[in-house]
Structure 1
Amino acid sequence: MKQTFKKTKALIDKPFHYCPGCTHGIIHRILGEVLEELNLLEKTIGVAPVGCSGFMEQYFNIDFQCGAHGRAPAIATGIKRSLPEKIVFTYQGDGDMASIGIAEAIHAAARGEKFTSIFVNNGIYGMTGGQMAPTSLIGQKTATSPYGRDADLAGFPLDLPLMMSTIRGAAYVASVSVDTPENVMKAKRAIKKAFKVQLAGLGFSFVSVLSTCPTNWGLSPTESLKWLQDHLGSYYTLGELKTPEMAKA
């Protein structure tokens, strides 16, 4: 029988701890496939954050370093500068990178640090109970905005990849989603390109991935995918926002 599917060697045989319907697992899989296809498993170091994905080092067959909340880009900077031959990436949620860690992320991009950041945006704080995040949408109800986010009180949602695309040190910026099989493949291509940019030493590479949070959204897995498409997907800019070719133009 022809084999049409096999598990990536980048992931070990351990069940994910994520809630049913959470798309962290999809992102982990395509990240692992990219590292394997580029033959990077023996030379990659990941930096895990505080948040739902904070235990991701338990699932990957690569070296990992844990970081304090929001500090992954600072840690990745130290690792990449001291071990420039290594491939280094951070994997951070929107509560981690767009809030407490935004200074580290922006200045890593401004310095053109030669590592890759994967930014997972589900528009809410996941692990800590569903509080409003910098990426929560206007009118979105969360644990700390039970009547919906009010722009007069909390400002507007932060489109971090769009902001990153304006920073000169950022060589590659893409914004993708994992809500459909087609978009999963687009996300994989963007993540692979981000690592190729790092391999070429061109500067900071950044991929934002729209993701779901069924538990804190109070929706079923199927309903969550529809909500992502109708709300997050219609608000946040998607596509390749900056490439090395654009940076030279």
Structure 2
Amino acid sequence: MRAERMPHIFCPGCGIGIAMRCYGQAVLESGIPQDQHVVVSGIGCSGRVAGYMNLDSYHTTHGRGIPFATGIKLANPELMVTVFSGDGDLAAIGGNHLIHAARRNMDLKIICVNNFNYGMTGGQFGPTTPTGAYATTSPYGNREQPFNLPYLLAASGANYVSRWTTMHVRQIKQDILYTFTKPGFTFIEILSSCPVGFGKSNRIPDGLEEMRLYRERSVLARDVPLDQLGIDLREERPIYVGNFVNRDVPAYAPVSIDP
């Protein structure tokens, strides 16, 4: 971490700091020299992470973390390139880049912190806001169907897909460590508390209460169909976590043409 950047800007009860620490710990334990790690972020609360890590980093424009990361990886394939950003940045304005990088199986490590809303800009609903959940722009409940991100990324061609919550700190760290050894496009979704944005609108008073919700409703998925991994916070349905996809498709490699 960059000590001179502390304290961070995350709100009390926010889970992004937990996810950031898991990533930092995985970097330290990876055995890969720190000057070989690069972290790229977009815009939003999670996008601030690139500025806090004591690594080569890029804080890019909104939704464009993956194209920047793709350029870095193609220019220097020896680097371990991670995109650390949020659901709004990656799945909304950056959604087109997300699915096509997965389709190409680019050798990128994606960490998506999903807090179900646009937390930095006022708590608006986004592409992962559960149906029926409230937001500042859906005062009568969200009428739209949210993305089931593991299903989307699996269908798009990602080599590795998993989901955890900020309650699962050991699993998150171990999963990130594993993706450092996994060629191709990997995607880890981390469900995070957002008491100031999503929580306030949905009668979840603080981060601790949302963590209790994750503890009580998280279920390790075993043979659960991918299309059943969607999240519905209105009902007492389980929140499935675990590793959902693990393929060995060769990572994208550009064609070399001798002059």
- What's the TM-score bracket when you normalise by the shorter of the two chains? 0.7 to 0.9
- In 2, Cα distance between equivalents of 1:227 and 1:134: 21
Partner amino acid, structure 2, of 1:220: D
Q: Which residue of 2 aligns with 1:133?
A: 126
1:223 equivalenced with 2:213 (yes/no): no
User: In the alignment, is the contact (CA less than 8 A) between 1:116 and 1:204 conserved in 2?
Assistant: yes
Q: Is the 8 A contact 1:211 1:228 kept in 2?
A: no
1:12 pairs with one of 2, 24, 32: 2
Where does residue 229 of structure 2 map in the other structure? none
In the other structure, the counterpart of 2:28 is 36
CA distance in 2, matches of 1:94, 1:50: 11
1:110 to 98, 103, 106: 103
Please say if residues 173 and 240 of structure 1, whose CA atoms lie closer than 8 Å, have aligned partners that are also in contact.
yes
In the alignment, the residues of structure 2 paired with residue 15 and residue 145 of structure 1 have an alpha-carbon distance, to the nearest angstrom, of 32
Long gaps (5+) in structure 1? 1-10
Is 1:81 aligned to 2:67, yes or no? no
* 1:196 to partner: Cα distance: 1.4
Aligned mates of 2:191, 2:40 — CA distance in 1: 20
Unaligned runs of 5+ in 2: 218-231, 251-259
Q: Distance in 1 between matches of 2:50 and 2:112?
A: 16
Q: What is the distance in 2 between the residues matched to 1:103 and 1:234?
A: 30
Q: Which residue, 71, 92, 107 being the options, matches 1:99?
A: 92
Q: Distance in 2 between matches of 1:204 and 1:178?
A: 22
Deviations 1:68-99 (Å, cap 9, x if unpaired)? Answer: 11111111111000011111011111111111
* Larger displacement relative to structure 2 (117-126 or 229-238): 229-238
TM-score, normalization: structure 2? Answer: 0.81
Flag the 1:228–1:137 CA change in 2: closer, same or farther, 3 A.
Answer: farther
3-state SS of paired residue (2:124): coil
Equivalent position of 1:241 in the other structure: 244
Structure 1 residue 12 displacement after superposition: 2.7
> What secondary structure, in the 3-state scheme, does the structure 1 residue paired with 2:88 have?
helix
Structure 1 residue 35, shift from structure 2 partner: 0.6
Percent identity between matched residues is 36
Deviation at 1:43, TM superposition (A): 0.6
1-structure distance, mates of 2:171, 2:39: 22
Structure 2 residue 152 is the aligned partner of structure 1 residue 159 = no
How many residues align structurally? 225
Contact 1:51 1:127 in 2 (8 A): yes
Q: Give yes or no for contact 1:50–1:68 (8 Å, CA) kept in 2.
A: yes
Pairs within 5 Å for 1:167-246: 167-168=156-157, 170-179=158-167, 183-197=168-182, 202-216=183-197, 217-218=199-200, 219-228=205-214, 230=217, 234=237, 237-244=240-247
- Cα distance change of structure 1 residues 235 and 97 upon mapping to structure 2, 3 Å threshold: farther
Counterparts of 1:130 and 1:224, CA distance in 2: 16
What's the Cα RMSD here?
1.9
CA distance in 1, matches of 2:110, 2:159: 12
Which range is displaced more, 222-231 or 130-139? Answer: 222-231
TM-score (norm 1): 0.85
Pairwise CA distance, 1:234: 4.4
